[in-house]
A and B are shown apart, each in its own frame.
Chain A
């Protein structure tokens, strides 16, 4: 059942690549939409079969692929990966819907989009470390192509930077996985937690450190974030949606599944430092966002800040914090995708994202009032306004972390307050005031400029409306997502205690006391 989540998009990509003749961009888009629609429907069927009461992997599929090197084709889904698979299927469909003006090599564009979607599903579902790594790397090259071919003026620079950073990330992760085999002397690449009996703490810390940097680049966390603002600025809107909404989640998923899941003891040891790292990342991302003039860079830096909450929650590792981390992954995926979609609309209509140029876009008749309304909703959600997804996520992260790491949590809460600062700056500059889309020159002359922006067609805002609806729905009815992930996050939180108990049992095989 799970294999179809990989096969549908990958076969779709193959169909697009082999489509005879020279089909129009519209036809390629339609085929991609059909494939992604099928993928979404299939993911919903998987959701229907998913048992929320079970803590381990479900709907597993496996066969030995290359047994000699420990590469098994083993898929499974749990409460951590299920929401991420759903959000991947939904957001890839959204990014295909909002791809409208691809006239250059549409066949390759949509095929790459499908490959990314399939690869991300594979990474979320993989139960084997090497299989995860294969899928993790598989999405890298298509994304590099999407930025370097269909990106902005400085796309070559941004794409190369992205490639270098994420290639290093991949190398570190592969190095850690292979190092595990080397140090433990086995080719077991399953998701079994590594105990100190199996591997000394020193070795665990080295491997965990490599994984932390590897996934820290992907998340990204300060100071490995440098590639993200450039990649977002140069990527087209659909690629930014995918990058922020889905691909960054590979990093946070990796932190939870592999860093914390494989090395629970070392993780517990490093947790205080990780919490401080999270707070620094949150504050840096927020302060950097305040300084931005480009709307897209501002949203990109906000991602750096908001991903820090997930590291904080993972460091605290309480059931509530981990559930908050899952919520934050989903809500950040939806909210950042929404914000990038809206920034894309503003850019398409005005030709700029410069906050020193744009003003008054909420103008009811000549501006972009509905886009502005959705933007205000999006930034309110991102700033953690109650009633929307951002609030419930941040509340749970802070509530779950405050007892474990009060200082880091309080600093992160300051970062949450700073979100309101930079997003209100964005809204105030770009959407309030007298309508303007050109740099200010003479105040009186500027006040006489007649601005003639093209109207936003209703179909252009349909994807954004869908995301806005989801953001409000999760904010008002969080229990659905909570039920989906609660058992998994609770069992993850119990992992360190479980490993300790296992060790104790190994030391005293006849029981204690």
Chain B
């Protein structure tokens, strides 16, 4: 006999903004404590860490070695032109580096913070001018293009700068997530709260890391993001990354149109939010939906414990990429939770009314945005 459709759907809770604000202020985690959640978050972050390692290496390679290359045919090979590697690339036995580029473009589109400000500064324009002057001397194609399209090469250099900055950011995050898995394996981390605390500590430790980027052109070194720009890891790259990739996201063909047709996306462009915390995991693996690329990559590096956990649920491996996406969303709430916890304007245990008010305002601003995110995965 047919099954009643109500049994085929699961609706998670959707906490109100006030409830989220209280959780943030009281130091509670957004994601509820459970053994399943711990397995999902730690293991999916471990696979994400391994994928980010590859993404990071490739983004830094592209920014440094493929800089202003008119036809970067081998940009995904990390400089290794071994025929076996080219063959694996052609048969798609590889990491989807395209997803890393999508994230870089999201950072360019939704640019905020110090990096974005610097990319529009006079100092950056001067750096570009010097680089372009030298580059056009040795590259006739760019020498032809530059006077015709004045904004073209500076935009490519902005892209390269964002690529390198994202590569540096993911270097730190990759190591952090793999360390987290080791910490959970040896018992140092045993709860969702400990996961959030571990990530927060990692972010805080790297907060002041300088973000710099220089290139070699015709044997001469040029700074694109010089040390004197004073760009740092947390404020200038991590926070803009969270805004661009976790909150805003990209209007992926397919995914958004499905949700938009069902009136599940705000028609107001200013309210557009389809980042990692907002996106719908169900269309994963649909045609033309890039987050599927990340899920495919994470599936390649899935720890056996989580793989086994997935095999025992719903369709087993049949819908594993959707389940990875759901676990990934939970883990991203933990990372966001850690970032918020680490960036409160005042200590949370302060008894000063002014400090408490500042923290409340900060938590309320985050809670109002997160209230419309996919908080149904939190319980």
Contact = CB atoms under 8 A, between A and B. Distances in A.
A448 B5 contact: no
B285 A365 contact: yes
B262 A351 contact: no
A440 to B, nearest CB: 8
Contacts of A436: 262
A365 B284 contact: yes
Interface string B40-76: 0000000000000000000000000000000000000
Q: Determine the interface band of chain B, counting residues with CB < 8 A from chain A.
A: 35 or more
A357 B261 CA distance: 15
Choose among A101, A363, A432, A450 the residue with the greatest number of B CB atoms under 10 Å from its CB: A450
A131 to B, nearest CB: 40
B286 interface: yes
Interface string A322-361: 0000000000000000000000000111111000010110
B258 A433 contact: yes
B354 interface: no
Given A366-B319, A445-B14, A350 B5 contact: yes
Interface in A30-63: none
A268 interface: no
B8 interface: yes
B318 interface: yes
A349 B258 CA distance: 22
Interface stretch (A295-303, A371-379, A451-459): A451-459
A104 to B, nearest CB: 11
B118 to A, nearest CB: 37
A453 B314 CA distance: 8
A444 interface: yes
B14 A438 contact: no
A449 interface: yes
Contacts of B286: 363-364
Contact of B315 (A101, A348, A455): A455
A447 interface: yes
A449 B318 CA distance: 19
Nearest to A437: B5
Nearest to A448: B376
A198 interface: no
B11 interface: yes
Contacts, number: 102
Interface in B1-42: 1-6, 8-12, 14
B136 interface: no
A433 B261 contact: yes
A438 B9 contact: yes
A182 interface: no
Given A447-B259, A450-B282, A452-B314, A351 B8 contact: yes
B6 A434 contact: no
B263 A443 contact: yes
Contact of A448 (B6, B11, B285, B315): B11
A304 interface: no
Contact of A449 (B11, B258, B285): B11
B282 A443 contact: no
A360 B264 CA distance: 14
B321 interface: yes
Given A347-B2, A351-B3, A451-B9, A443 B262 contact: yes
Given A351-B8, A450-B10, A364 B285 contact: yes
B280 A365 contact: no
Interface in A436-489: 436-438, 440, 443-455
B8 A365 contact: no
Contacts of B263: 443
A434 B258 contact: yes
Nearest to B318: A455
B255 to A, nearest CB: 9
A453 B8 contact: yes
Contacts of A366: 282, 314-315, 319, 322
B2 A351 contact: yes
Contacts of A352: 2, 5
Nearest to A152: B2
A250 interface: no
Contact of A434 (B8, B283, B322, B326): B283
A101 B285 CA distance: 32
Contacts of B12: 448, 450
A444 B14 CA distance: 10
A435 interface: yes
Contacts of A357: 5
A272 B3 CA distance: 50
A438 B11 CA distance: 12
Interface in B299-322: 314-315, 318-322
Given A433-B258, A434-B264, A446-B262, A350 B8 contact: yes
A450 B9 contact: yes
A359 B376 CA distance: 21
Interface string A221-244: 000000000000000000000000
A446 B2 CA distance: 22
Contacts of B11: 445, 448-450
B278 to A, nearest CB: 10
Contact of B282 (A363, A440, A445): A363
Given A365-B319, A451-B282, A443 B264 contact: yes
Given A437-B5, A437-B9, A365 B258 contact: no
B4 A351 contact: yes
A432 B263 CA distance: 15
B374 interface: yes
A408 B332 CA distance: 64
A352 B3 CA distance: 9
Contacts of A434: 258-259, 261-262, 264, 280, 282-283
A438 B5 contact: yes
Nearest to A359: B262
22 contacts: A347-B2, A350-B5, A360-B282, A364-B284, A365-B318, A365-B319, A365-B320, A434-B282, A434-B283, A438-B8, A438-B9, A446-B264, A447-B262, A447-B264, A447-B280, A448-B12, A448-B14, A449-B11, A451-B8, A452-B8, A455-B315, A455-B318
Interface of B: 1-6, 8-12, 14, 258-259, 261-264, 280, 282-286, 314-315, 318-322, 326, 372, 374, 376
7 tightest CB-CB pairs across the interface, nearest first?
A: A447-B264, A443-B263, A365-B319, A351-B2, A364-B285, A450-B10, A434-B258
Given A365-B322, A435-B282, 15 more contacts: A349-B3, A351-B5, A352-B2, A360-B282, A366-B282, A366-B314, A433-B258, A433-B261, A437-B9, A438-B9, A447-B280, A448-B376, A451-B282, A454-B315, A455-B315
